[in-house]
Amino acid sequence: MVSRNAGKLRQHLLIVLLLLFYYSAFTTDVYADDFPMISKQRRIELHNLLIQDCGSCHGMTMKGGLGPALTPEVLKNKSRQMIEVAILQGRPGTPMPPWNILLSKDEVRWLVDTLYSGITP
Amino acid sequence: MNILFKSILLVCLFNLLAACVSLRGTGDLGVVIERATGSVQIVETTNATILKRVENLGDLSHASIVYSRDQRYAYVFGRDGGLSKIDILKGNIDHRIIQSGNSIGGAISQDGKLVAVSNYKPGGVKVFDSNTLDLVADIPAVYGDGKQLSKVVGLVDAPGQRFVFSLYDAGEIWLADLSQGKTEITRFKNIGRQPYDGLITPDGRYYIAGLFGEDGLAVLDLWHPEKGVNRILDDYGRGSKKMPVYKMPHLEGWAMTEDYAFLPAVGRNEVLVVNRRNWKQLASISVHGQPVFVMARPDGRQVWVNFAYPRNDTVQVIDTEQLQITKTLKPGKAVLHMEFTPRGEHVWVSARDEGKVTVYDTDSFNAIATLPMTKPSGIFFTSRAHRIGL
């Protein structure tokens, strides 16, 4: 009797968990990724920053200008960490400024993620 | 009744005919770049209206324009190496070529017959027939062991059918003379590290290059190129602190009044006032942010300043007599460029992230018109056609 109840309880729990998991997929932000701390509004701002302001030197399609190209093809052989450091701290001896005054580490990671997957203007 | 109908029809026909043959000049026209959509808006400044949009111009993320001397054609230099000749009367693309992989700007010759483009990739300058866009001269920016090509910046026209430009990677200024039907190059080496932009004074005499890699400015006197390149304003630049610069100031925007030149400080929230005779700094004016364009109203009485990200929602006006800020305006997010009407009664201001261009009366500072556009950036009026270096 006891073991049967326990089995039922476990079944219930499983269903509840499954339901929770199922609902969570819908109730959390549509961006169920590594960046829950970055709001939808902020993502729009960052995307605009990437294309418009970074694009001033790297080209709006990231094919390069005064700054180097940052397309997925170019980036695939480079370390993510190096790119993150370049954005956060700038690159001495080049016009690339340090962005750590204006952007958080998470925001920079999000930008780098976006660059690696390729931007769509 | 029949007669009335017929006469109405006749009037209609006449109007239609008149519309077909109606003439207009182009002296009050201009072009505004819509950088994100690869399009431009043809505008007119008399009533501050949009006339027509022209599309399919490629990547316009750092686009600029020069005009044919008849002020009918606008040559658009795109980031993707595109060179487009737009007929601003017809409102269409007259001719378009892709002349390189990556370009940054251009210039038109003294006689209006040649259009030159400065390229990042492959580094150099290409010169085209302004009528047909056929290649006239190819000037690869070779340096070092002769195998490397430098990015080319700061290309301007100079009197005597010459073009002047700077080699970013090589630290050189080149003077290209096309007056004799061939291309004769004079190279000036070791002018300073990483020249990033250049300007020519409105009289066409001095070519000045800004240096990213060190402080000071490189100057070439085009009346005496044999004297070589000299340095002025040794303190001009980022200084020892090397403040981060989020947008390099544009040199083309340097405001020159009779006595003073107003320069954007690099990395500091200041506009510098410099004596034009001896290039000594007289004063610095504290402003809202890092200045990008510092432009004088055509009469020289006011200087208008816009700013780098993230303080780029503001424009300030400096009185050139008192050397003080007399007005602060908020045209909106991401103010990128300003252009005065030919005699300066109005100024057009583009606010990229607001999607609009605002036209201000420069006397009352009232906004007299707002024109919706998609991510507007550079504004270029046809009055540039007759100014050296623009």
Rounded to the nearest angstrom, the gap between the alpha carbon of residue B329 and the centroid of all alpha carbons in its chain is: 22
Token representation of residue A68: 């180097």
Distances (CA, A) of B234 to A68, A73, B220, B228: 30, 42, 15, 17
Compare CB distances from B310 to A60, A61, A102 and report the shortest one's residue.
A102
Q: Is there a contact between B354 and B310 (Cβ–Cβ < 8 Å)?
A: no
- Confidence tier at B15 by pLDDT (50, 70, 90): low
**Residues whose CB falls within 8 Å of the CB of residue B162, separated by 6 or more in sequence, listed in order:** B110, B175, B176, B177, B178, B179, B222
What residue spans define the domains of chain A? Answer: 1-30, 33-117
Paired tokens of B161: 């059918």
Query: What is the value of ipTM here, to two decimals?
Result: 0.72
Report how far Cα B256 is from the mean position of its chain's Cα atoms.
15
What's the rounded mean pLDDT across residues B128-152?
95
pLDDT at residue A1 greater than cutoff 60: no
pLDDT value of residue A93: 82
Residues of A in contact with B168 (CB under 8 A): 66
CATH node for B72-232: 2.140.10.20
- Does residue A28 carry a pLDDT above 50? no
Contact B351, B333 (CB under 8 A): yes
Q: Beta-strand (E) ranges in B236-387? A: 255-256, 260-264, 270-275, 281-286, 291-296, 302-307, 315-319, 324-329, 335-340, 346-351, 356-361, 367-372, 376-381
pLDDT of residue B43: 98
Confidence check: pLDDT of B277 > 90: no
Site from A48, A54, A56 to mutate, B interface, most B CB atoms within 10 angstroms = A56
- Residues in chain B within 8 Å Cβ distance of A102: 246, 309-310
Q: Using pLDDT thresholds of 50, 70 and 90, give the confidence band for residue A19.
A: low
Please say if the pLDDT value at position B41 is more than 90.
Answer: yes
pTM value > 0.90? no
Look-up of token digits 């991401």: B334
- ∠B175-B177-B178 over CA atoms, to 5°? 145
Measured CA to CA, the distance from residue B84 to residue B58 in angstroms comes to 9
- For residue A106, give the H/E element and its range: helix A105-117
Contacts of A107 (CB under 8 A, 6+ apart): A38, A42, A46
pLDDT digits over B64-113, tens only? 999 999 999 999 999 889 999 999 999 999 999 999 888 889 999 999 99
A56 vs B61, B102, B151: nearest CB: B61
- Tens of pLDDT along A39-90? 999 999 999 999 888 988 898 889 888 889 999 999 998 999 999 999 999 9
Segment A88-104 mean pLDDT: 90
| Mean pLDDT (whole number) for A18-25 | 54
Residues of chain B contacting A48 with CB distance shorter than 8 Å: 353
Homologous superfamily of A33-117: Cytochrome c-like domain (1.10.760.10)
Task: List residues bridging with B197 in a β-sheet.
Answer: B210
Sorted by where each begins, the domain ranges of chain B are 72-232
